[in-house]
Structures are given as structure tokens and as C-alpha cells.
Copies of this chain bind each other. A is one copy, B any other.
Amino acid sequence: MAYQSENLIAQAREVREASGVSQRALSERAGLTQSHISQIESGKMEPGLSSFIDLTRALDLEVMLVPKKLVPAVLGLVKAQATPDMHIHAGQPNDKRFARAERLVKKMKRLYGSSADLDRIEDTLRFLRRVNLGDQEMQFVRELIARLERYQASAQAAPIVRDIAQNLQRLRNSIAHPVPSEPRPAYSLDDGDADA
């Protein structure tokens, strides 16, 4: 029934998936049943306000009231930082993550044909796998992989794949050629220029 809460729920789902949290894990953390979460996310059921708050809290999100006029501003703020830390992350050691990601890329190449971007992703993943990544960095990679998984079959996957390739490349560069001072760059997801 296309409610107005669709958007919020979709948002929560995106965060959940990007954090690598399963419906089951979330259900324990939030105190709802998995079936409940499934029905909420698929729009078959409208959650109560407190259920929804429980859900989002478990995802390290907060429900806030914002005057309509400020919505664009807040949106800008949120998008800029794009899921800041998100310390949730469930199990699965990094090695497995990388293995899974590389398998995914291979599968995509097999299905949709090879491409410069996919090659670049594959290459960068191989590199990053051997590096010791910090929490934030690993989180960043995890997000990109989740995005790749989600859009692998999308009709307009190409620009997204390109964006992911660029972001991975940039992370690689920042590790290979660290900036002198600057403790940490604090990644943002905006698609920026690609360097050489």
C-alpha cells in the first residue's frame, strides 16, 4: 500500500545491508522477530513507531524530527559523512570477506563480460587483502562490497561499478602513498575525480 514510511524503511534496510548485519542478527539485537523484520522491510507490514525506533537504534541510527526547511541541509550533512563508523559489523573475518568479494567479481565478469572497471576492482582487492586495514578502512571496503553485491544485477550497474572501482583505487592510493601529516583522510562516498 505504498505508505509514506517506505522511504525511511528502505533507508534502514540499506544501512543494515551495508553493515553486513543479517535480519536474524538484527532481530536479536533489536528485540523483534526475524519474520517481523522481513515483513517490515518488504512492505507487507507497517511497524509501530517504537518498533521502528528499536530497529534503527540497533543499527546505530537515530530517528529525528527536522523542520522541512532544514531537510536539505541535514541531508547534505548525512550524505557527506556517509555512514561514519558503523562499528556493528558481524563476525566474518576480513579474509573471508575479500574471498567472497573476489568471487563476486569473477562471477560478474563471467556473466556480463570483463571490463576495465571490474579488472581494476579485482586488482585492487588483491592488493588490499594483503594490507593491514584499520577499522574505518575495513568498514569502507565492506560498504563498497555490499554496494557491489546489491547492484550486481541492476540494469544500470556500469556507473556504480565504476564508482566502486574509483573508490577502491583511491583507498589503495592513500595507503600506498600516504599523505605526510593528516592523521586520516576520513573517506566520503562522493564520486570525485580519478587520479592517474
The interface bits of chain A over 82-123 (1 if a CB of B lies within 8 angstroms of the residue's CB, else 0) are 011110000000000000000000000000000000000000
A8 within 8 A of B: yes
A176 within 8 A of B: no
A127 within 8 A of B: no
The interface bits of chain A over 167-190 (1 if a CB of B lies within 8 angstroms of the residue's CB, else 0) are 000000000000100100001111
Distance, CA A187 to CA B3, complexed state (A): 34
Among the stretches A51-59, A141-149, A155-163, the one at the interface with B is: A51-59
A130 within 8 A of B: no
Contact residues on A (Cβ < 8 Å of other chain), bracket? 35 or more
Closest to A84 in B: B69
Across the interface, which residues of B come within 8 angstroms of A80, CB to CB? Answer: 189, 191
Closest to A11 in B: B65
A134 within 8 A of B: no
A12-B65, A65-B63 given as contacts; is B78 within 8 A of A77 (CB)? Answer: no
A154 within 8 A of B: no
Is the beta-carbon distance between B52 and A189 smaller than 8 angstroms?
Answer: no
Across the interface, which residues of B come within 8 angstroms of A153, CB to CB? Answer: none
Across the interface, which residues of B come within 8 angstroms of A189, CB to CB? Answer: 73, 76-77, 80
Across the interface, which residues of B come within 8 angstroms of A56, CB to CB? Answer: 65
A138 within 8 A of B: no
Distance, CA A191 to CA B78, complexed state (A): 11
The interface bits of chain A over 20-51 (1 if a CB of B lies within 8 angstroms of the residue's CB, else 0) are 00000000000000000000000000111111
Min distance, Cβ A195 to any Cβ of chain B, angstroms: 12
Across the interface, which residues of B come within 8 angstroms of A5, CB to CB? Answer: 49-50, 53
Is the beta-carbon distance between B65 and A62 smaller than 8 angstroms?
Answer: yes
Min distance, Cβ A11 to any Cβ of chain B, angstroms: 5
A46-B48, A62-B67, A76-B190 provided; 5 other pairs, C-beta below 8 A?
Answer: A4-B53, A64-B66, A67-B83, A74-B77, A77-B77
